[in-house]
């Protein structure tokens, strides 16, 4: 079977399409349904303060997924080996569900996605493309280190989300499982293990993103 080869122009158009769909609400097709909850939905019982707090945390998670899309797209653009490129594109596809689940939950909580998402997309895309230009090993290592940090964030969010916000908790539970899998597969594919100093710098950057996205 012949495989289609994309030139730089095709890739740029595809990248622009993906960026627009990431940043425009209701434009992503789900491959998996929103994680179900066993308890009856009691979102109505959440106090205004709890609802606001849940929305802030889910907005941070949504912004994180925007960053993941951009990072993987940037990396796919500059990855050297075709299998690494494919791995990045597959991971980006899996992240689309997370993006859509968080967006849907934000709507249910009568809230909105972060107005800063285009900024996060641009920054993350550049970082991903830069990492891919250095080497596939660094690029994959960056995925592993990023996903580790995302897992740490999600674990913190599970402690902070109102206990009765079953729907948000079910989404975060499933995301945690998926992100841990992404971190493992990036290392298995040959990713470098990043030193603690680089991880500490990355965590400063992600703190800026989480602090601002919680509010706006
Ligand atoms: Fe994700
Ligand atoms: Fe992920």
Other CB atoms closer than 10 Å to residue 136's CB: what's the count?
Answer: 23
Ligand nearest to the CA of 91: 2
Inter-CA distances, 114 with 110, 127, 129, Å: 13, 20, 23
Q: Which residue has the tokens 């989404």?
A: 171
Distance 2 CA to ligand 1 centre (A): 32
Distance 26 CA to ligand 2 centre (A): 20
Near ion ligand 2, which residues have CB within 5 Å? 179, 182
Return all residues near 5 (Cβ < 8 A) that are at least 6 apart: none
Per the CB < 8 A criterion, the answer to whether 106 and 112 are in contact is yes
Distance 68 CA to ligand 2 centre (A): 7
Distance 179 CA to ligand 1 centre (A): 6
Inter-CA distances, 14 with 18, 133, 192, Å: 6, 19, 28
| Residue 191: strand, helix, or coil | coil
Ligand nearest to the CA of 174: 1
Domain edges within the chain:
47-215
* pLDDT tens digits, 66-112: 998 888 888 888 777 787 777 777 777 778 899 999 999 999 999 99
* pLDDT tens digits, 2-22: 455 667 677 777 777 777 778
Tell me the pTM: 0.86
In this structure, which long-range contacts are made by residues 86-94, counting pairs with CB atoms below 8 Å and at least 24 apart in sequence?
87/140, 87/185, 87/186, 87/189, 88/139, 88/143, 91/143, 91/182, 91/185, 92/18, 92/68, 93/31, 94/31, 94/178, 94/182
Quote the pLDDT of residue 5: 65
Distance 72 CA to ligand 2 centre (A): 9
Inter-CA distances, 18 with 14, 15, 121, 182, Å: 6, 5, 11, 20
Share of the chain above pLDDT 90, in %: 35
Ligand nearest to the CA of 96: 1
Distance 68 CA to ligand 1 centre (A): 7
**Domain 47-215 classified CATH 1.20.1260.10?**
yes
Distance 95 CA to ligand 1 centre (A): 4
Ligand nearest to the CA of 95: 1
Distance 175 CA to ligand 1 centre (A): 6
Per the CB < 8 A criterion, the answer to whether 139 and 87 are in contact is no
Provide φ and ψ at 65, rounded to 5°: -70, -30
Distance 90 CA to ligand 2 centre (A): 11
* pLDDT tens digits, 146-172: 898 899 999 999 999 999 899 999 999
């Amino acid at each position: 079977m012949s495989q289609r080869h994309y030139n730089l122009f095709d890739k740029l158009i595809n990248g622009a399409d993906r960026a627009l769909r990431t940043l425009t609400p209701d434009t992503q097709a789900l491959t998996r349904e929103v994680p179900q909850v066993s308890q009856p939905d009691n979102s109505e019982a959440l106090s205004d303060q709890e609802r606001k707090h849940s929305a802030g945390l889910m907005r941070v998670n949504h912004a994180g997924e925007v960053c993941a899309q951009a990072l993987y797209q940037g990396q796919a653009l500059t990855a050297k080996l075709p299998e690494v490129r494919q791995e990045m594109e597959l991971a980006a596809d899996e992240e689309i569900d997370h993006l859509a689940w968080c967006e849907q939950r934000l709507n249910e909580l009568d809230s909105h996605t972060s107005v800063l998402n285009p900024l996060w997309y641009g920054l993350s895309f550049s970082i991903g493309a830069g990492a891919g230009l250095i080497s596939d090993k660094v690029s994959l290592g960056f995925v592993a280190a990023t996903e580790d940090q995302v897992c740490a964030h999600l674990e913190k969010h599970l402690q902070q989300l109102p206990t009765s916000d079953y729907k948000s908790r079910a989404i975060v539970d499933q995301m945690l499982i998926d992100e841990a899998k992404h971190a493992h597969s990036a290392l298995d594919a040959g990713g470098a293990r990043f030193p603690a100093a680089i991880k500490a710098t990355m965590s400063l950057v992600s703190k800026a993103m989480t602090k601002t996205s919680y509010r706006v």
